[in-house]
């Protein structure tokens, strides 16, 4: 059971670390952004807390120390400098590493933690004494681990005017003790109006203390005898609260304390009554402890102590207010989203797939037996199934922006390593794609971005010489295009050097010297196995395996890669990826008794192949299709189908990697909702087949991998030309 | 001399602020001194400020000291009810003054 929780913790921690990275990078661009400083602090705080809870003691201690340092930044005592951000990023990476290690971690990692903390300490001591903003003086005999936020009650009483607002945009709960002078009515002040103003700030609980009001015969009706405790849940800052009392500043005692921060919400109950009362100085802590030991009821103790009822009431109100606020925040958080394991989602999609398959059978049966009522039911069922399918698919959709933001760090680190200045721009991060597709896009995108920075964007001096700005950019954008998503990776670098690529391909014997290639074909050579345009192999772009891996992975996703390049002004790589891999629209065809499915997205048209045309094909399988030469492949031959084809065959024209290729089949049956099933280990490596689907009559149809089949046509063509 | 069997209703009216505090104090003091039971009717109060709320507390404790009865009565106007609520004198908003006095913190010492 605890392992299950640990996994959940890890999952959440990884997510938090990603957020942390984003916040840090944001902070790097904008070091004065207090919101991000708070976000960074909050994230560390959350990791610390939950790590401790789940027994990751080392992580908890490590983050605890860093949290203390970040607190100094939050308080404005230390600036969020480049160096500090670098250190925090390193710490973030280290925590990520620790999360994957058993607890306690190996000595090596512990040493790394210590080294990192030392770096932090060295940094903090180095900025000490560099002027007021940067400086931090540690009390004698105290190390950085001992540094804590100076809480309001530790701070000198008169320091509030200078004190910076610590809580930015957090929803916090304040306890405000308001004591107005006796003569407050004399200047026309209406205390209840002040309270009304405070009430408008948020969730407001007010307790008046009336025990100082004398009896009627001794009261001076023109004097104030009441004071208040206000418990206020608000996003407002302490200074906003003080502003309410600005005109009575000299005649009022205002004590404002933050008693809870709802953005770093703690689990469980708020303080016990005794704790609140001792915190307020009503009873001393020792006595409440004794009371707890004596197993007496708190009410009894308080009565014995002669604690005024209003004090108890005030503490009770505080307790209720905080717990109410916490509950509300928690229910807000839990109702806005829930965490579901991706396994469950996959199962759901599988089940929906089964339903779609069953529905196809129902439709077929209803059609066969010509039963009116059953047909009506089947049609309704079909409509619902389609809705269910779309909804289920949409649950699996994630915005691609989550992946984009991961690359910001990559771009930052890479460009630094290479001594280049590269900014990463993103567009269309909200574009949604199937979760599985997003996961599998990660590696190809890493390779492409690496290449753009390594080979694309030039060194600053080269750029200046070429009349460009010294800092280059890489832009990631995504947009929907039908059932596909187009992902563009664009840079403003030098562009691809056609001649260099061509020469290299000849040297590597990827093409022959005589071969004439269009620009597009030359560009596409960069995806050929074993191709690398870099003069030196760098750790960044690897050994030239990158781009062919990209091509392979995108093929596996049934997507396409396209390259455009403008000399001297950059390269654009466009990935066209299907929205989902689970259910696709397909074109069902038959060859003899077997059925096959083409992904409909790739199909351009269907044409007939007549007998006379067959005669003319002879050796080369090329057809004149409305003036365009169309190479084609007989699937009968590919799958070694016995028997003779019908007189009129069909050609399915498919767009594969920008080229049109025809596939000859016996019959085109029509479009088909295709629930993709994996073929299992045994058949995984079958060339030309990407999966299978179950048809309405229960039979199986294979899904064709048109990219691979097209490559086969191209290879055959090449062979023929060669001979 | 106090008529120990009598009951007096003090009708408070209008907008009650510090300017009325002295006269109200005198009126209630006289009523408590002269009667066994005093009812303070708040139905016609349009506005009440802190000084007057303090007087109500003072009157109640004075009555207790004098072994007299003093209660709030009437149907509060919303504005007045809210003053008690926002001023932190009670938790529940109620327009019924006789119920309100039970809600007022520390108002009733014994009852």
- Contact, A183 vs A176, CB < 8 A? no
Q: What is the helix (H) or strand (E) element at residue A404, kind and residue range?
A: helix A401-417
pLDDT score of A135 more than 50: no
- Rounded-to-integer distance, Cα A418 and Cα A425, Å: 19
Give the ranges where B39-96 is alpha helix by DSSP (H). 50-65, 78-86
pLDDT tens readout for residues B27-80: 999 999 999 999 999 999 999 999 999 999 999 999 999 999 999 999 999 999
Among A127-141, A488-502, B45-59, the range scoring the smallest mean pLDDT is A127-141
Q: Which of A351, A270, A285, A354 is nearest to A317 (CA)?
A: A270
User: Residue A167's pLDDT is what?
Assistant: 42
Of the candidates B17, B62, B106, which has its C-beta nearest A210's C-beta? Answer: B106
Spell out the residues 6+ positions from residue A596 whose beta carbon is closer than 8 angstroms to its own. A588, A589, A590, A635, A665, A701, A702, A703, A704
pLDDT bin (cut points 50, 70, 90) of residue A64 is confident
Side-chain-facing half-sphere of A622: CA atoms under 13 Å: 11
ipTM, two decimals, is: 0.92
pLDDT score of A112 more than 70: yes
Q: Which of A125, A119, A129 is nearest to A143 (CA)?
A: A125
pLDDT score of A700 more than 80: yes
Nearest residue on chain A to B51, judged by CA atoms? Answer: A221
Region A128-140: mean pLDDT is: 44
pLDDT score of B1 more than 50: no
User: Residue A82's pLDDT is what?
Assistant: 84
Distance from CA of B34 to the nearest CA of A (A): 14
Distance from CA of A221 to the nearest CA of B (A): 6
Q: Which of B70, B73, B75 is nearest to B29 (CA)?
A: B70
How remote is the C-alpha of B72 from its chain's centroid? 5
In percent, the amount of chain A with pLDDT more than 90 equals 8
Region A610-623: mean pLDDT is: 66
Of the candidates B18, B24, B88, which has its C-beta nearest A208's C-beta? Answer: B88
Chain B: residues touching A (Cβ < 8 Å) = 17-18, 21-22, 24-25, 28-29, 32, 49-51, 53-55, 57-59, 61-63, 65, 83, 86-89, 91, 105-107
pLDDT tens readout for residues A630-643: 888 888 888 888 88
CA distance readout (Å), A701 to A155, A363, A593, A632, A697 = 75, 18, 10, 22, 11
- Rounded-to-integer distance, Cα A338 and Cα A354, Å: 25
Of the candidates B62, B89, B91, which has its C-beta nearest A217's C-beta? Answer: B62
User: Residue A686's pLDDT is what?
Assistant: 76
pLDDT score of A678 more than 90: no
pLDDT bin (cut points 50, 70, 90) of residue A396 is confident
pLDDT tens readout for residues A157-212: 333 333 334 445 678 889 999 999 888 888 788 899 899 989 888 889 999 998 88
Omega prior to A104 cis, within 30 of 0: yes
User: Residue A535's pLDDT is what?
Assistant: 47
- Contact, A171 vs A329, CB < 8 A? yes
- Rounded-to-integer distance, Cα A241 and Cα A152, Å: 15
pLDDT score of A338 more than 80: no
Among A8-17, A261-270, A364-373, the range scoring the smallest mean pLDDT is A261-270
Q: Record the tokens describing residue A515, joined without a space.
A: 């071969």
Cα separation of the two ends of chain A: 67
**Cβ–Cβ below 8 Å for B58 and A215:** yes
Q: Record the tokens describing residue A170, joined without a space.
A: 């957090």
Highest-pLDDT range among A429-438, A602-611, B63-72: B63-72
pLDDT bin (cut points 50, 70, 90) of residue A660 is confident
Region A281-288: mean pLDDT is: 64
Distance from CA of A199 to the nearest CA of B (A): 8
Among A90-104, A122-136, A256-270, A690-704, the range scoring the smallest mean pLDDT is A122-136
Among A132-146, A443-457, A521-535, B31-45, the range scoring the smallest mean pLDDT is A132-146
pLDDT tens readout for residues A451-471: 888 888 889 998 899 888 888
- Rounded-to-integer distance, Cα A41 and Cα A62, Å: 14
pTM, two decimals, is: 0.50
- Rounded-to-integer distance, Cα A401 and Cα A476, Å: 10
pLDDT score of A37 more than 70: yes
Quick check: helix, strand or coil at residue A74?
Answer: helix
- Contact, A400 vs A440, CB < 8 A? no
Q: Tell me which chain B residues have a C-beta less than 8 angstroms from the C-beta of A222.
A: 18, 21-22, 51
User: Residue A33's pLDDT is what?
Assistant: 79
Distance from CA of B25 to the nearest CA of A (A): 7
**Cβ–Cβ below 8 Å for A221 and B106:** no
Region A97-126: mean pLDDT is: 84
């Amino acid at each position: 059971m605890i392992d299950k929780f640990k996994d959940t913790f890890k999952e959440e921690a990884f997510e938090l670390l990603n957020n942390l990275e984003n916040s840090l990078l944001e902070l790097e661009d904008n070091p004065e952004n207090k919101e991000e400083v708070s976000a960074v602090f909050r994230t560390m705080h959350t990791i610390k807390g939950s790590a401790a809870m789940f027994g990751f003691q080392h992580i908890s201690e490590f983050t605890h120390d860093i949290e203390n340092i970040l607190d100094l930044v939050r308080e404005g005592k230390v600036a969020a400098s480049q160096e500090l951000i670098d250190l925090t990023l390193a710490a973030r990476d280290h925590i990520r590493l620790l999360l994957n290690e058993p607890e306690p971690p190996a000595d090596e990692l512990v040493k790394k933690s210590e080294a990192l903390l030392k770096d932090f300490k060295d940094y903090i001591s180095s900025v000490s004494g560099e002027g007021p903003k940067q400086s931090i003086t540690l009390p004698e005999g105290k190390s950085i681990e001992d540094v804590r936020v100076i809480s309001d009650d530790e701070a000198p009483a008169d320091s509030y005017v200078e004190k910076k607002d610590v809580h930015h945009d957090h929803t916090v709960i304040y306890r405000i003790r308001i004591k107005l002078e006796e003569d407050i009515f004399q200047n026309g002040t209406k205390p209840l109006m002040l309270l009304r103003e405070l009430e408008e700030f948020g969730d407001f609980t007010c307790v008046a203390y009336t025990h100082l009001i004398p009896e009627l015969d001794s009261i001076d009706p023109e004097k104030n005898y009441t004071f208040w405790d206000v418990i206020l849940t608000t996003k407002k800052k302490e200074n906003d609260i003080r502003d309410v009392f600005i005109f009575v500043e000299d005649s009022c005692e205002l004590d404002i304390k933050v008693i809870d921060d709802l953005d770093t919400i703690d689990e469980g109950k708020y303080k016990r009554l005794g704790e609140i009362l001792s915190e307020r100085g009503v009873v001393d802590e020792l006595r409440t402890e004794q009371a707890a030991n004596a197993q007496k009821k708190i009410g009894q103790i308080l009565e014995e102590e002669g604690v005024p009822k209003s004090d108890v009431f005030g503490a009770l109100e505080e307790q209720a207010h905080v717990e109410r606020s916490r509950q509300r925040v928690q229910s807000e958080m839990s109702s806005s989203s829930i965490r579901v394991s991706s396994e469950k989602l996959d199962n759901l999609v599988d089940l929906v797939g089964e339903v779609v398959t069953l529905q196809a059978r129902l439709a077929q049966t209803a059609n066969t037996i010509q039963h009116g009522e059953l047909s009506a039911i089947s049609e309704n069922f079909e409509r619902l199934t389609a809705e269910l399918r779309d909804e289920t698919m949409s649950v699996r959709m994630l915005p691609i922006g989550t992946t984009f933001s991961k690359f910001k760090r990559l771009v930052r680190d890479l460009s630094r390593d290479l001594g280049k200045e590269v900014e990463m721009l993103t567009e269309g991060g909200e574009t949604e794609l199937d979760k599985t597709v997003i996961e599998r896009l990660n590696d190809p995108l890493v390779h492409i971005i690496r290449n753009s920075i390594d080979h694309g964007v030039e060194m600053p001096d080269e750029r200046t010489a070429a009349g460009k700005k010294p800092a280059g950019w890489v832009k990631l954008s995504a947009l929907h295009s039908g059932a596909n998503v187009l992902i563009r990776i664009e840079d403003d670098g030098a562009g691809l050097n056609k001649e260099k690529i061509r020469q290299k391909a000849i040297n590597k014997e990827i093409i022959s010297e005589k071969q004439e290639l269009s620009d597009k074909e030359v560009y596409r050579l960069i995806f050929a196995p074993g191709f690398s345009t870099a003069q030196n192999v760098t750790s960044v772009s690897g050994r030239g395996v990158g781009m062919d891996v990209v091509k392979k992975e995108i093929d596996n996703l049934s997507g396409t890669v396209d390259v455009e390049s403008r000399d001297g002004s950059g390269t654009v790589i466009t990935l066209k990826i299907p929205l989902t891999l689970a259910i696709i629209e397909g074109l069902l065809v038959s060859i003899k008794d077997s059925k096959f499915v083409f992904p409909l997205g790739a199909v351009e048209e269907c044409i007939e192949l007549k007998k006379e045309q067959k005669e003319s094909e002879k050796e080369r399988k090329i057809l004149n299709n409305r003036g365009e030469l169309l190479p084609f492949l007989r699937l009968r031959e590919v799958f070694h189908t016995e028997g003779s084809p019908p007189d009129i065959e069909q050609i399915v024209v498919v767009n594969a990697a920008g080229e049109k290729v025809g596939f000859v089949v016996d019959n085109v049956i029509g479009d088909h909702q295709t629930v993709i099933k994996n073929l299992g280990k045994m058949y995984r490596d079958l060339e030309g087949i990407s999966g299978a689907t179950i048809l309405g009559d229960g039979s199986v149809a294979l899904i064709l991998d048109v990219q691979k089949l097209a490559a086969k046509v191209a290879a055959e063509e090449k062979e023929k030309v060669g001979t | 001399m106090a008529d120990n069997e009598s009951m007096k209703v003090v009708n408070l009216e209008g907008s009650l602020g510090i300017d009325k505090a002295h006269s109200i104090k005198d009126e209630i003091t006289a009523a408590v001194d002269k009667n066994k039971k005093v009812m303070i009717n708040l139905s016609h109060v349009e506005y009440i400020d802190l000084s007057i709320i303090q007087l109500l507390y003072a009157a109640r404790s004075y009555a207790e000291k004098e072994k007299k009865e003093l209660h709030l009565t009437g149907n509060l106007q919303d504005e007045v009810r809210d003053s008690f609520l926002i001023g932190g004198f009670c938790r529940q908003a109620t327009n019924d003054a006789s119920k309100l006095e039970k809600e007022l913190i520390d108002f009733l010492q014994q009852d």
